[in-house]
């Protein structure tokens, strides 16, 4: 592929990234002190996946960071009518995470021309980090 001339730049897709880091202990405290918040933050599938893991809160923290990272790549944060569960982190075969969008977040992605979305996450006993990359149609708002 040849290097695009400046005149062509407006026609290129726009790449937006989002990154988030969260302390696992902070997520643990939130989940412990706020009974019921799990269902606000995570889908049934995410809870089922993480509950089967030895370091459950690390995995949930990674998913929380991934949701934040995705919303940063959208440039919106959690916008009006959006729910945390609209961004679902699904583990595909081989363990690689995939993002499934639902509800208002999916609608915004559709309206603004999301072409592709990828996420990577990692966690230790103390920190969880996630990085999202969104590819948008060049004329997205």
Partner 1 sequence: MTRDEIYEHVQTAVAEALGLDDDEVTPEATLMDELGAESIDLLDILFRLERSVGVKIQASDIGDHVQGGIPDDEFGDENEIITPAGMAQLKTVMPQIDEDELAGKLRADEVMSHFTVDNLVQLVESRVNAAA
Query: Which parts of this chain interact with partner 1 (CB under 8 A)?
Result: 22, 26-27, 30, 33-34, 37, 40-41, 64, 68, 77-82
Please list, in sequence order, all residues whose beta carbon lies within 8 angstroms of the beta carbon of residue 12, skipping any fewer than 6 positions away: 4, 138
CB of 95 vs partner 1, minimal distance in Å? 25
Distances (CA, A) of 111 to 74, 102, 130: 12, 13, 25
Name the minimum Å distance from CB 97 to partner 1: 20
Nearer to partner 1, 39 or 124 (CB): 39
C-beta of 4 vs 38, nearer to partner 1: 38
Q: Cβ closer to partner 1: 22 or 109?
A: 22
Shortest CA distance to 136 belongs to which of 114, 104, 121, 119? 114
Cα three-residue angle 11-15-19, rounded to 5 degrees = 170
How near is the Cβ of 32 to partner 1 at its closest, in Å? Answer: 11
Q: Which is nearer to partner 1, 98 or 131 (CB)?
A: 131
Strand order across the 114-123 sheet: 14-23, 127-136, 114-123
Scan for tokens 């459950």, then name that residue: 56
In angstroms, what is the minimal distance from the CB of 39 to partner 1? Answer: 12
């Amino acid at each position: 592929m040849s290097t695009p001339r400046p005149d062509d730049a407006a026609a290129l897709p726009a790449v937006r990234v989002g990154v988030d880091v969260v302390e696992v202990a902070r997520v643990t405290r939130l989940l412990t002190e706020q009974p019921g918040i799990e269902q606000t933050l995570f889908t049934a599938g995410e809870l089922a996946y993480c509950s089967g893991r030895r370091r459950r809160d690390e995995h949930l923290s990674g998913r929380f960071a991934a949701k934040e990272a995705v919303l940063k790549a959208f440039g919106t944060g959690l916008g009006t009518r959006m729910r945390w569960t609209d961004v679902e982190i699904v583990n595909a075969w081989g363990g690689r995470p995939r993002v499934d969008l639902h509800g208002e977040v999916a609608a915004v992605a559709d309206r603004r021309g999301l072409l592709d979305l990828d996420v990577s996450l990692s966690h230790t006993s103390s920190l969880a980090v996630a990085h999202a990359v969104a590819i948008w149609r060049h004329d997205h708002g």
